[in-house]
Amino acid sequence: MKTAEIAARYLAYFEKNDHVIVPSASLVSDDPTLLFTVAGMVPFVPYLNGTVPPPFPRAADVQKCIRTNDIEEVGHTARHGTFFQMLGNWSFGDYFKEGAITYAWELLTGSEADGGLGFDEKDLWVTVYETDDEAAALWQRIAGLPAERIQRLGKEDNYWSTGQPGPAGPCSEIYFDRGPKYGRDGGPAVDDSRFTEIWNLVFMQDAIANVRSKTDFDIVGELPNKNIDTGMGLERVAFIKQGVDNMYETDQVRPVLDRAVALSGRPYGAEHEDDIRYRVIADHVRSSLMLLSDGVTPSNEGRGYILRRLMRRAVRAMRLLGVDGPTFPELFAASRDAMAPAYPVVSDDWTRISQYAFAEEETFLRTLASGSTILDLSIAQTKESGGTSLAGTEAFLLHDTYGFPIDLTLEVAEEAGLTVDRAAFDTLMQEQRSRAKADAKNRRRAIADHSVYRDYRAKGETIFTGYTDLETESTVLGILIDGLPADRVRTGQVAEIILAETALYAESGGQVADKGAIIGAGFEADVLDVQKPVPGLVSHTVEVTVGEIGVGDPATSVVDAANRRAARQAHSATHLVHAALRDTLGKSATQAGSLNRAGYMRFDFTWGQALSPETRTEIEEIANNAVRDNLEVTTRVLALDEAKELGAMALFGEKYGDTVRMVDIGGPWSRELCAGTHVSASAEIGLINLVGESSVGAGGRRVEALVGLDAFRDLAAERAIVSQLSSALKVPRDQLPARIADLAASLKAAEKKIAAFETQALAGRAPQLVADARRSGDVTVVAESLGNASSADDVRSLALQVRDRLGAGAAIVALGAVVKERPLVIVATNPAARESGVKAGVLAKAAASALGGGGGGRDDVAQGGGTDAAALPAALQAVVSALESARA
């Protein structure tokens, strides 16, 4: 049974049983404390904890998820994957334990001919919470399970909570017995490898508080509305129904694995370590494909960092399988073809997805090449110093700074006859993980904060009137000070104010929050920020400047009109620039993010190379022509499917409900889904001045523009600068470029002459340096600071000249200088010195240490550098001391 068919059967069954079928939410979670949707319940949290009233009593879905906590386990077990799909059915105060158990058993054991999944009853076991007699009795009555196939487990296994105060409850898990070849008999309590969990039924019935750990908390009462939250792992069911050993061999994943086998030429199933690598590749390529399809792009932070890590682990695994060149064009295409039937977007958006994927692989292959050079140098220095083990700090630096995988470091070091101080490396990695876990824990704590908004959200959605009004009278529904409810807030205090209606725009869709005030009888408050802490609820962070505000007081939200006008101009300009980009570059220039504030806009888009000045000018001209043409701006609220059929574009990372707001500028020329505020006609934008274009990672570019009066002021400032230059250089404006080019050429020629004079003067110091040479034991030493020098090559040339004049006896030359404000030391040794064991690379490293930098090189000539120019005398003394130590 194909994976997509299992999902279809699941949804059809629950639709037949009066569940609303909810489409999967994005992998990019709405929850600000989460990077990704890590579990099927994440999109439903506001309904489950009562923060937002559920729009339906029961629902079912297939939710896309990404979880990277166990990334090191990928490939090692049958069931660990970073991307997975969770089948869920949900009841919000509707059916409870009996309904959940009935539905699960009926679907699992129903015949395939009747739309069920066709599991044999004898292969299924269940676990229940140790005190949940009700669930155990229901399993016996509904499923006819014998008592020995119903196992009771404790809180660690069969009690669910978020780890925070709030809703919780016992759960019941359903397991499939894979048979004796997979482990011991005795049920899931004995062996959870042989007995694979396929479905978890959470009975959300308790309110908990005083949470001390996952298993240590107080149950303080029953929830007024009991909920059902279930999750069945689609990949787990698929590998069982398809008769394969693990999720990597299912129909949606195996094609990538097979393509990797074809590229490497090594068989699958013959060698344990190779098998793990193939599974990592199959999993990570699919996960990367799905993340890219939801608008995540590779970067060095946040979600982008996780994506980059997955992609680079796949490249690393292919390299360890003997493939050094690009493989993503074939691997990603294989994953696309496998996933497209379930997720057509991976095919529809292939141009953009592949652009990012292929560019990231190309970048990392270059990183591996440069990392190999750095590693080779570290290995050479380790050998020169007589060491047999590469320092753990060096391996960690390669991993953390250059993205060079530890597996490859171990492999290359072993080929060079060295080990790696893996214990030190692992310690550094653990410290990094601990910091990451602490950050994650801090983020998780914020989840509990949402509960403070529950009562306010229960009163209904905040009505936004700002599309038409700049002032709106309302009532203060709630006040929060430091996250806690309060009755009043006084002058000088900062608080969150919840209003029933507001004219102030809450930050979203790339548009920053409005500026403004909240006023009433006897009070005034400046608005510092406006956000939506939970869906449908607007919170105003304010500082009270006059009087005090109480819950229930009438209050008027007042928008700063000038700021709103400029923000509207910037947001509408963003739409025009997007349309102009697509006109100029083609449809593959797809939006990947934006930011709009008063007078400024930036727009990120998929594109693999810098825009030429001519292209930038063309984009700017098209956008400003649209301003000149005074195009009508219209907005419509309509069904999401209808908007998509009309060609409306959505911004990646934004979430859309069943109904959406569509903004047209000039009809279909610019048609986007957007909840932001806009001008009524394009001429109101005034002027768009593109001021920047830059890279935002592999395959991504960013344009920035000033808008309206800010654009005019910038151009006026440039005009003033041009006028000053024209006056100072005494040439007309149109001749400025030629005149400046002439001056630059003259300056460059003068600099060359000065450099030549400095080089000549430096070379003339050779006789005096030779005369000043001193003895250190049986070695002649020159260790002098030259002051400023034009280039490191000049210092190197002088060091070699001095060395060659010191005769055949053992001699070293160490010359320090400041080149372009950076200190360096060049060390040169002659054959006699090297024969006695003196190596330039070791001495240069000693100098670099004193300078606060790094160094090394060959035995005959080497260089050290750093950042502390004042330490040059100490660096030269360090060379002499290192020499004396080596000769002792």
Q: Where are the alpha helices (DSSP H) in 321-462?
A: 328-339, 345-348, 350-384, 392-402, 406-415, 422-445, 454-457
Say how far apart CA 664 and CA 269 lie, in whole Å.
56
> Does the CA dihedral 383-385-389-391 come out positive or negative?
negative
Q: How far apart are the first and last CA of the chain?
A: 77
The response to whether 571 counts as a known ligand-binding position is yes
* CB contact at 8 A, 88 and 232: yes
- Collect contacts of 660-663 with beta carbons under 8 A, ≥24 apart: 661/635, 661/636, 661/637, 662/635, 662/636, 662/637, 662/638, 663/575, 663/633, 663/634, 663/635
Alpha carbons within 13 A on the beta-carbon side of 856:
12
The response to whether 540 counts as a known ligand-binding position is no
* CB contact at 8 A, 84 and 117: no
- What residues are paired with 779 via a beta bridge? 776
Say how far apart CA 781 and CA 876 lie, in whole Å.
11
Radius of gyration of the chain measured on its C-alpha atoms: 34
Q: Name the 3-class secondary structure at 79.
A: coil
DSSP symbols for 540-589: EEEEEEESEEETT-EEEEEE-HHHHHHHHHHHHHHHHHHHHHHHHH-TT-
> What is the SS3 assignment for 387-402?
CCEECHHHHHHHHHHH
What single DSSP character describes residue 385?
T
Say how far apart CA 506 and CA 675 lie, in whole Å.
10
* CB contact at 8 A, 346 and 821: no
User: What is the phi/psi pair of residue 726, to 5°?
Assistant: -60, -40
The response to whether 450 counts as a known ligand-binding position is no
Task: Please identify which residue in the block is written with the tokens 């509960």.
Answer: 451
* CB contact at 8 A, 25 and 44: no
The response to whether 674 counts as a known ligand-binding position is yes
- What residues are paired with 527 via a beta bridge? 516, 542
Say how far apart CA 76 and CA 243 lie, in whole Å.
19
329 φ/ψ sector (left φ>0, alpha ψ -120 to 50, else beta): alpha
What single DSSP character describes residue 16?
H
Q: Name the 3-class secondary structure at 265.
A: coil
Whole-angstrom CA distances from 350 to 290, 324, 340, 482, 594 are 11, 24, 10, 46, 22
Whole-angstrom CA distances from 700 to 105, 495, 609, 611, 650 are 49, 39, 8, 11, 18
AA letter at 472? T
Say how far apart CA 187 and CA 827 lie, in whole Å.
71
Taking alpha carbons only, the member of 484, 613, 628, 495 closest to residue 549 is 495
> Does the CA dihedral 45-48-52-57 come out positive or negative?
positive
* CB contact at 8 A, 472 and 503: yes
What single DSSP character describes residue 466?
T
Taking alpha carbons only, the member of 334, 335, 333, 328 closest to residue 311 is 328
Structure tokens at 107: 């679907």
For Cα atoms 856, 862, 867, give the angle at the middle one, nearest 5 degrees: 65
Q: Which residues are annotated as a binding site?
A: 571, 575, 674, 678
Q: Which residues are annotated as a binding site for Zn(2+)?
A: 571, 575, 674, 678
